[in-house]
Protein backbone atom coordinates (compact mmCIF):
# COMPACT_ATOMS: atom_id res chain seq x y z
CA UNK A 1 0.00 0.00 0.00
CA UNK A 2 1.44 3.44 -1.00
CA UNK A 3 2.51 5.70 1.85
CA UNK A 4 -0.28 8.24 1.15
CA UNK A 5 -2.95 5.48 1.29
CA UNK A 6 -1.48 4.06 4.50
CA UNK A 7 -1.68 7.50 6.12
CA UNK A 8 -5.28 7.88 4.94
CA UNK A 9 -6.19 4.42 6.26
CA UNK A 10 -4.65 5.22 9.63
CA UNK A 11 -6.49 8.54 9.74
CA UNK A 12 -9.81 6.83 8.98
CA UNK A 13 -9.15 4.22 11.66
CA UNK A 14 -8.40 6.94 14.18
CA UNK A 15 -11.60 8.77 13.28
CA UNK A 16 -13.63 5.55 13.63
CA UNK A 17 -12.02 4.81 16.99
CA UNK A 18 -12.68 8.37 18.04
CA UNK A 19 -16.32 8.10 17.03
CA UNK A 20 -16.59 4.85 18.99
CA UNK A 21 -15.09 6.47 22.07
CA UNK A 22 -17.40 9.48 21.65
CA UNK A 23 -20.44 7.21 21.35
CA UNK A 24 -19.44 5.40 24.53
CA UNK A 25 -18.84 8.70 26.29
CA UNK A 26 -22.30 9.92 25.27
CA UNK A 27 -24.02 6.69 26.37
CA UNK A 28 -26.29 7.04 29.39
CA UNK A 29 -24.64 5.23 32.32
CA UNK A 30 -26.70 2.62 34.16
CA UNK A 31 -25.15 2.06 37.59
CA UNK A 32 -25.64 -1.54 38.64
CA UNK A 33 -24.71 -2.38 42.22
CA UNK A 34 -23.74 -5.94 43.14
CA UNK A 35 -23.66 -7.16 46.75
CA UNK A 36 -21.78 -10.46 46.61
CA UNK A 37 -20.32 -12.86 49.14
CA UNK A 38 -16.70 -12.54 48.07
CA UNK A 39 -15.50 -13.65 51.50
CA UNK A 40 -16.95 -15.80 54.26
CA UNK A 41 -18.68 -19.20 53.96
CA UNK A 42 -20.45 -18.32 50.69
CA UNK A 43 -17.35 -16.95 48.91
CA UNK A 44 -17.32 -19.71 46.28
CA UNK A 45 -20.81 -18.68 45.17
CA UNK A 46 -19.83 -15.00 45.11
CA UNK A 47 -16.81 -15.68 42.92
CA UNK A 48 -19.01 -17.41 40.35
CA UNK A 49 -21.51 -14.56 40.48
CA UNK A 50 -18.84 -11.92 39.98
CA UNK A 51 -17.54 -13.75 36.90
CA UNK A 52 -21.02 -13.96 35.41
CA UNK A 53 -21.83 -10.30 36.07
CA UNK A 54 -18.59 -9.00 34.61
CA UNK A 55 -18.86 -11.21 31.51
CA UNK A 56 -22.47 -10.22 30.81
CA UNK A 57 -21.80 -6.51 31.38
CA UNK A 58 -18.95 -6.64 28.87
CA UNK A 59 -21.18 -8.38 26.32
CA UNK A 60 -24.01 -5.86 26.79
CA UNK A 61 -21.61 -2.93 26.56
CA UNK A 62 -20.20 -4.30 23.31
CA UNK A 63 -23.30 -3.07 21.52
CA UNK A 64 -26.32 -4.95 22.83
CA UNK A 65 -27.86 -1.88 24.48
CA UNK A 66 -27.38 1.14 22.19
CA UNK A 67 -27.42 4.48 23.96
CA UNK A 68 -26.64 3.03 27.37
CA UNK A 69 -23.57 1.74 29.21
CA UNK A 70 -23.70 -0.59 32.21
CA UNK A 71 -21.43 0.51 35.05
CA UNK A 72 -21.04 -2.28 37.61
CA UNK A 73 -20.20 -1.42 41.22
CA UNK A 74 -19.12 -4.59 43.08
CA UNK A 75 -18.93 -4.90 46.86
CA UNK A 76 -18.35 -7.74 49.32
CA UNK A 77 -21.20 -8.54 51.73
CA UNK A 78 -18.86 -10.98 53.55
CA UNK A 79 -21.71 -13.54 53.81
CA UNK A 80 -23.17 -11.66 56.80
CA UNK A 81 -26.30 -9.65 57.51
CA UNK A 82 -24.33 -6.80 59.05
CA UNK A 83 -22.00 -6.30 56.13
CA UNK A 84 -24.85 -6.80 53.68
CA UNK A 85 -26.68 -3.87 55.29
CA UNK A 86 -23.55 -1.71 55.07
CA UNK A 87 -23.07 -2.57 51.40
CA UNK A 88 -26.69 -1.76 50.55
CA UNK A 89 -26.48 1.59 52.30
CA UNK A 90 -23.32 2.49 50.39
CA UNK A 91 -24.71 1.39 47.03
CA UNK A 92 -27.98 3.25 47.57
CA UNK A 93 -26.83 6.44 49.27
CA UNK A 94 -23.28 6.97 48.03
CA UNK A 95 -23.04 5.20 44.68
CA UNK A 96 -26.64 6.10 43.75
CA UNK A 97 -27.11 2.84 41.83
CA UNK A 98 -30.25 2.27 39.78
CA UNK A 99 -30.53 -1.41 40.72
CA UNK A 100 -28.88 -3.91 43.05
CA UNK A 101 -27.96 -7.50 42.16
CA UNK A 102 -27.74 -9.84 45.16
CA UNK A 103 -27.03 -10.42 47.94
CA UNK A 104 -25.67 -13.95 47.65
CA UNK A 105 -27.39 -15.50 50.69
CA UNK A 106 -31.08 -15.48 51.60
CA UNK A 107 -30.14 -14.78 55.22
CA UNK A 108 -28.38 -11.58 54.17
CA UNK A 109 -31.26 -10.66 51.88
CA UNK A 110 -33.82 -10.75 54.70
CA UNK A 111 -31.80 -8.07 56.49
CA UNK A 112 -30.64 -5.93 53.55
CA UNK A 113 -33.53 -6.02 51.09
CA UNK A 114 -35.89 -4.04 53.36
CA UNK A 115 -33.42 -1.13 53.08
CA UNK A 116 -33.73 -1.15 49.30
CA UNK A 117 -37.50 -1.54 49.53
CA UNK A 118 -37.74 1.52 51.78
CA UNK A 119 -35.49 3.51 49.44
CA UNK A 120 -37.46 2.33 46.39
CA UNK A 121 -34.42 0.77 44.74
CA UNK A 122 -35.12 -2.38 42.70
CA UNK A 123 -33.26 -5.52 43.73
CA UNK A 124 -32.73 -8.56 41.52
CA UNK A 125 -31.77 -11.57 43.63
CA UNK A 126 -29.64 -14.14 41.80
CA UNK A 127 -29.28 -16.93 44.35
CA UNK A 128 -31.88 -16.36 47.07
CA UNK A 129 -33.90 -19.58 47.00
CA UNK A 130 -35.81 -19.37 50.27
CA UNK A 131 -39.49 -19.80 49.26
CA UNK A 132 -40.63 -17.20 51.78
CA UNK A 133 -39.26 -13.92 53.06
CA UNK A 134 -37.57 -12.59 49.90
CA UNK A 135 -39.99 -11.21 47.31
CA UNK A 136 -42.53 -10.93 50.14
CA UNK A 137 -40.48 -7.95 51.35
CA UNK A 138 -42.08 -5.72 48.74
CA UNK A 139 -42.67 -4.72 45.14
CA UNK A 140 -39.07 -3.61 44.57
CA UNK A 141 -37.65 -7.09 45.27
CA UNK A 142 -37.37 -9.51 42.32
CA UNK A 143 -35.32 -12.64 41.63
CA UNK A 144 -34.14 -14.80 38.76
CA UNK A 145 -33.28 -17.73 41.05
CA UNK A 146 -35.83 -20.51 41.33
CA UNK A 147 -36.86 -21.20 44.91
CA UNK A 148 -36.19 -24.50 46.62
CA UNK A 149 -39.95 -25.07 46.40
CA UNK A 150 -39.70 -24.80 42.61
CA UNK A 151 -36.71 -27.13 42.26
CA UNK A 152 -36.61 -29.75 45.03
CA UNK A 153 -40.01 -31.49 44.55
CA UNK A 154 -39.27 -32.30 40.91
CA UNK A 155 -35.73 -33.40 41.74
CA UNK A 156 -36.94 -35.74 44.48
CA UNK A 157 -39.63 -37.16 42.22
CA UNK A 158 -37.13 -37.89 39.46
CA UNK A 159 -34.66 -39.40 41.92
CA UNK A 160 -37.32 -41.67 43.42
CA UNK A 161 -38.35 -42.86 39.98
CA UNK A 162 -34.71 -43.84 39.39
CA UNK A 163 -33.82 -45.20 42.83
CA UNK A 164 -37.15 -46.37 44.28
CA UNK A 165 -36.42 -45.24 47.86
CA UNK A 166 -39.25 -45.39 50.42
CA UNK A 167 -37.44 -43.98 53.47
CA UNK A 168 -35.17 -40.98 53.98
CA UNK A 169 -33.17 -39.16 56.64
CA UNK A 170 -32.66 -35.39 56.79
CA UNK A 171 -29.72 -33.25 57.87
CA UNK A 172 -29.89 -29.46 57.69
CA UNK A 173 -28.38 -26.24 58.98
CA UNK A 174 -30.74 -24.68 61.51
CA UNK A 175 -29.05 -21.26 61.74
CA UNK A 176 -29.51 -20.08 58.16
CA UNK A 177 -32.68 -18.92 56.39
CA UNK A 178 -31.76 -20.72 53.17
CA UNK A 179 -30.86 -24.09 54.69
CA UNK A 180 -33.89 -24.09 57.00
CA UNK A 181 -36.18 -23.25 54.08
CA UNK A 182 -34.61 -26.04 52.04
CA UNK A 183 -35.31 -28.49 54.84
CA UNK A 184 -38.97 -27.44 55.01
CA UNK A 185 -39.37 -28.04 51.28
CA UNK A 186 -37.62 -31.41 51.50
CA UNK A 187 -39.99 -32.59 54.23
CA UNK A 188 -43.03 -31.69 52.15
CA UNK A 189 -41.62 -33.13 48.93
CA UNK A 190 -40.90 -36.46 50.62
CA UNK A 191 -44.33 -36.54 52.26
CA UNK A 192 -46.06 -35.83 48.95
CA UNK A 193 -44.31 -38.88 47.46
CA UNK A 194 -45.14 -41.10 50.44
CA UNK A 195 -41.50 -41.33 51.54
CA UNK A 196 -41.15 -41.87 55.30
CA UNK A 197 -38.65 -39.67 57.16
CA UNK A 198 -36.97 -42.02 59.66
CA UNK A 199 -34.54 -39.55 61.27
CA UNK A 200 -33.65 -35.83 61.32
CA UNK A 201 -30.51 -34.07 62.57
CA UNK A 202 -29.30 -30.45 62.55
CA UNK A 203 -26.01 -28.52 62.55
CA UNK A 204 -24.77 -24.92 62.43
CA UNK A 205 -22.54 -23.16 59.87
CA UNK A 206 -19.62 -23.16 62.31
CA UNK A 207 -19.71 -26.93 62.81
CA UNK A 208 -16.91 -29.03 61.34
CA UNK A 209 -17.52 -32.42 62.97
CA UNK A 210 -20.78 -34.07 61.90
CA UNK A 211 -19.94 -37.50 63.28
CA UNK A 212 -22.62 -37.61 66.01
CA UNK A 213 -25.39 -36.53 63.63
CA UNK A 214 -24.32 -38.88 60.85
CA UNK A 215 -23.94 -41.82 63.23
CA UNK A 216 -27.48 -41.25 64.49
CA UNK A 217 -28.81 -41.04 60.93
CA UNK A 218 -26.96 -44.21 59.92
CA UNK A 219 -28.58 -46.16 62.74
CA UNK A 220 -32.02 -45.37 61.27
CA UNK A 221 -31.04 -47.18 58.02
CA UNK A 222 -32.55 -44.68 55.55
CA UNK A 223 -32.58 -45.42 51.82
CA UNK A 224 -31.81 -41.77 51.01
CA UNK A 225 -29.97 -38.99 52.84
CA UNK A 226 -31.13 -35.45 52.06
CA UNK A 227 -28.95 -32.52 53.12
CA UNK A 228 -29.66 -28.79 53.12
CA UNK A 229 -26.33 -27.00 53.59
CA UNK A 230 -24.01 -24.31 52.23
CA UNK A 231 -21.13 -25.62 50.13
CA UNK A 232 -18.43 -25.63 52.84
CA UNK A 233 -20.64 -27.66 55.18
CA UNK A 234 -21.97 -29.79 52.33
CA UNK A 235 -18.59 -31.07 51.17
CA UNK A 236 -17.47 -31.93 54.71
CA UNK A 237 -20.75 -33.68 55.45
CA UNK A 238 -20.51 -35.87 52.35
CA UNK A 239 -16.87 -36.79 53.04
CA UNK A 240 -17.61 -37.70 56.65
CA UNK A 241 -20.79 -39.57 55.69
CA UNK A 242 -18.91 -41.84 53.31
CA UNK A 243 -16.05 -42.37 55.77
CA UNK A 244 -18.57 -43.46 58.41
CA UNK A 245 -20.05 -46.05 56.08
CA UNK A 246 -23.20 -44.27 54.94
CA UNK A 247 -23.53 -45.77 51.47
CA UNK A 248 -27.06 -44.68 50.57
CA UNK A 249 -27.66 -42.08 47.82
CA UNK A 250 -27.26 -38.45 48.93
CA UNK A 251 -29.33 -35.59 47.57
CA UNK A 252 -28.46 -31.97 48.32
CA UNK A 253 -30.26 -28.68 48.21
CA UNK A 254 -29.19 -25.66 46.18
CA UNK A 255 -26.09 -25.15 48.33
CA UNK A 256 -24.51 -28.15 46.59
CA UNK A 257 -24.64 -26.42 43.18
CA UNK A 258 -21.02 -25.31 43.08
CA UNK A 259 -17.84 -26.82 41.60
CA UNK A 260 -16.29 -26.00 44.97
CA UNK A 261 -18.46 -28.74 46.49
CA UNK A 262 -17.04 -31.33 44.10
CA UNK A 263 -13.48 -30.06 44.53
CA UNK A 264 -13.62 -30.15 48.33
CA UNK A 265 -15.56 -33.42 48.61
CA UNK A 266 -13.38 -35.22 46.08
CA UNK A 267 -14.33 -38.85 45.33
CA UNK A 268 -17.02 -38.73 48.05
CA UNK A 269 -19.06 -36.40 45.82
CA UNK A 270 -19.55 -39.08 43.16
CA UNK A 271 -23.21 -39.93 42.70
CA UNK A 272 -24.57 -36.98 44.72
CA UNK A 273 -27.82 -35.63 43.28
CA UNK A 274 -29.06 -32.04 43.32
CA UNK A 275 -31.84 -30.09 41.65
CA UNK A 276 -30.64 -27.19 39.54
CA UNK A 277 -32.09 -24.19 37.72
CA UNK A 278 -29.47 -24.35 34.93
CA UNK A 279 -29.33 -27.07 32.30
CA UNK A 280 -25.67 -26.94 31.36
CA UNK A 281 -26.29 -29.25 28.38
CA UNK A 282 -28.95 -27.04 26.78
CA UNK A 283 -28.29 -26.32 23.11
CA UNK A 284 -30.40 -23.16 23.16
CA UNK A 285 -28.44 -20.35 21.43
CA UNK A 286 -28.38 -18.15 24.56
CA UNK A 287 -26.82 -20.94 26.62
CA UNK A 288 -24.34 -21.90 23.92
CA UNK A 289 -23.22 -18.27 23.65
CA UNK A 290 -22.95 -17.99 27.44
CA UNK A 291 -20.67 -21.01 27.65
CA UNK A 292 -18.55 -19.71 24.77
CA UNK A 293 -18.18 -16.33 26.47
CA UNK A 294 -17.12 -17.91 29.74
CA UNK A 295 -14.72 -20.28 27.95
CA UNK A 296 -13.00 -17.34 26.27
CA UNK A 297 -12.52 -15.83 29.70
CA UNK A 298 -11.04 -19.09 31.01
CA UNK A 299 -13.85 -19.60 33.53
CA UNK A 300 -15.83 -22.81 34.04
CA UNK A 301 -19.41 -21.69 34.77
CA UNK A 302 -21.86 -23.16 37.22
CA UNK A 303 -25.48 -22.44 38.11
CA UNK A 304 -24.50 -19.29 40.02
CA UNK A 305 -22.56 -17.97 37.03
CA UNK A 306 -25.55 -18.60 34.77
CA UNK A 307 -27.94 -16.88 37.16
CA UNK A 308 -25.76 -13.79 37.57
CA UNK A 309 -25.10 -13.54 33.83
CA UNK A 310 -28.86 -13.79 33.31
CA UNK A 311 -29.49 -11.06 35.90
CA UNK A 312 -27.44 -8.58 33.86
CA UNK A 313 -29.34 -9.54 30.70
CA UNK A 314 -32.61 -8.91 32.56
CA UNK A 315 -31.46 -5.47 33.70
CA UNK A 316 -30.42 -4.62 30.13
CA UNK A 317 -33.78 -5.83 28.83
CA UNK A 318 -35.63 -3.70 31.40
CA UNK A 319 -33.68 -0.63 30.24
CA UNK A 320 -34.31 -1.48 26.60
CA UNK A 321 -38.05 -1.90 27.17
CA UNK A 322 -38.47 1.43 28.95
CA UNK A 323 -35.74 3.38 27.21
CA UNK A 324 -34.70 4.80 30.58
CA UNK A 325 -32.27 3.93 33.37
CA UNK A 326 -33.84 5.29 36.54
CA UNK A 327 -34.82 3.18 39.52
CA UNK A 328 -38.55 3.32 38.78
CA UNK A 329 -37.87 2.74 35.08
CA UNK A 330 -35.96 -0.47 35.75
CA UNK A 331 -38.63 -1.72 38.16
CA UNK A 332 -41.27 -1.04 35.51
CA UNK A 333 -39.10 -2.77 32.92
CA UNK A 334 -38.78 -5.89 35.04
CA UNK A 335 -42.57 -6.25 34.98
CA UNK A 336 -42.48 -6.28 31.17
CA UNK A 337 -39.78 -8.96 30.76
CA UNK A 338 -41.38 -11.94 29.01
CA UNK A 339 -39.75 -14.96 27.40
CA UNK A 340 -36.27 -13.44 27.43
CA UNK A 341 -33.64 -15.77 25.94
CA UNK A 342 -31.07 -16.45 28.68
CA UNK A 343 -28.68 -19.24 29.75
CA UNK A 344 -31.45 -20.37 32.12
CA UNK A 345 -33.91 -20.72 29.25
CA UNK A 346 -36.83 -18.51 28.25
CA UNK A 347 -37.15 -16.23 31.26
CA UNK A 348 -40.15 -14.39 32.69
CA UNK A 349 -41.23 -13.25 36.14
CA UNK A 350 -44.26 -14.63 37.96
CA UNK A 351 -46.95 -12.30 39.31
CA UNK A 352 -45.10 -12.42 42.64
CA UNK A 353 -41.79 -11.31 41.02
CA UNK A 354 -40.23 -14.76 41.26
CA UNK A 355 -38.40 -16.55 38.46
CA UNK A 356 -40.38 -18.52 35.90
CA UNK A 357 -38.37 -21.06 33.88
CA UNK A 358 -37.62 -24.78 33.80
CA UNK A 359 -35.61 -26.68 36.43
CA UNK A 360 -33.74 -29.98 36.09
CA UNK A 361 -31.65 -32.48 38.07
CA UNK A 362 -27.90 -33.09 37.95
CA UNK A 363 -25.59 -35.72 39.41
CA UNK A 364 -21.89 -35.74 40.12
CA UNK A 365 -20.26 -38.15 37.70
CA UNK A 366 -16.56 -38.46 36.86
CA UNK A 367 -15.79 -35.42 39.00
CA UNK A 368 -18.27 -32.99 37.46
CA UNK A 369 -21.97 -32.17 37.37
CA UNK A 370 -23.90 -33.93 34.64
CA UNK A 371 -27.59 -33.57 33.86
CA UNK A 372 -29.51 -36.67 34.94
CA UNK A 373 -31.15 -38.15 31.81
Whether 10 has a pLDDT exceeding 70, the answer reads: no
* Rounded CA separation 193/157 (Å): 7
Q: Which residue has the higher pLDDT, 195 or 17?
A: 195
Give me the pLDDT at residue 50, please. Answer: 98
Residue range 128-139: mean pLDDT, rounded:
94
**Cα distance between residue 310 and residue 144, in whole Å:** 8
Q: What is the pLDDT of residues 250-260, one digit of tens each?
A: 999 999 999 99
CA 198, chain centre distance (Å): 31
Per-residue burial over 10-31, b if 16 or more Cβ lie within 10 Å, else e, is eeeeeeeeeeeeeeeeebeebb
- pLDDT for residue 11 is more than 80: no
Total residues found in the chain within this entry: 373
184-230: per-residue pLDDT in tens? 999 999 999 999 999 999 999 999 999 999 999 999 999 999 999 99
Q: What is the mean pLDDT of residues 90-103?
A: 98
Peptide bond into 259 cis (omega under 30): no
**C-alpha torsion sign, points 77, 262, 356, 149:** negative
Distance CA 44, CA 304 (A): 10
119 phi and psi, to 5 degrees?
-85, 0
**Topology alike, domains 28-146+282-358 and 149-276:** yes
Question: Residue 69 forms beta bridges with which residues?
Answer: 29
CA pair distance 198, 222, nearest whole angstrom: 7
Q: What CATH fold (topology level) applies to the domain 149-276?
A: Rossmann fold (3.40.50)
User: 269-300 burial, b for 16+ CB within 10 Å, e for fewer?
Assistant: beebbbbbbbbbebeeebbeebbebbeeeebe
pLDDT at 373: 82
Q: What is the mean pLDDT of residues 43-68?
A: 97
Q: How far is CA 149 from CA 152, 183, 205, 343, in A?
A: 6, 10, 22, 21
| Sequence spans of domains, the chain | 28-146+282-358, 149-276
Instruction: Please return the burial class of 63, using the count of CB atoms within 10 Å of its CB with bins 0-12, 13-18 and 19+.
Output: exposed
3-state SS of 10-26?
HHHHHHHHHHHHHHHHH
* Partner residues linked to 124 by β-bridges: 101, 142
**Nearest-angstrom CA–CA distance, 85 and 67:** 32
SS3 content of the chain, % helix, strand, coil (to 5): 50, 20, 30
CATH top-level class for 28-146+282-358?
A: alpha beta
DSSP string, 114-147: HHHHHHT--EEESS---SSSSGGG-TTEEESSPP
Report the percentage of the chain scoring pLDDT > 90: 91
Q: Is residue 138 predicted with pLDDT exceeding 50?
A: yes
Q: How confident is the model at residue 40 (pLDDT cuts 50, 70, 90)?
A: very high
- pTM: predicted TM-score of the whole model, two decimal places: 0.86
pLDDT digits (tens, 9 = 90+) for 280-310: 999 999 999 999 999 999 999 999 999 999 9
Residue 7 confidence (pLDDT) above 70? no
Neighbouring C-beta atoms of residue 323, cutoff 10 Å: 11
Determine the Cα–Cα distance for residues 238 and 321; give it in Å rounded to an integer: 46
The pLDDT tens digits of the residues spanning 320-330 come to 999 999 999 99
Under 8 Å CB-to-CB from 362, ≥6 apart: which residues? 257, 273, 274, 275, 276, 280, 369, 370, 371, 372
Amino acid sequence: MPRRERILAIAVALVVCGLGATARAQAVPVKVGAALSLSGPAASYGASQRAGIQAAADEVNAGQLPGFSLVVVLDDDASTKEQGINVYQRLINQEKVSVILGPTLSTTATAADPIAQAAKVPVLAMSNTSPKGITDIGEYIWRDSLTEAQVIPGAVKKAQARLGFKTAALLYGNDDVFTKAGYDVMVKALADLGVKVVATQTFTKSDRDYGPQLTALRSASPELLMVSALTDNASAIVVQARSLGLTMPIMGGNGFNSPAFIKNAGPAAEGVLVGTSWDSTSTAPANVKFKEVMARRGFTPDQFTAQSYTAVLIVAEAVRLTGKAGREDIRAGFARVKGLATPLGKFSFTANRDADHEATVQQVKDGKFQILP
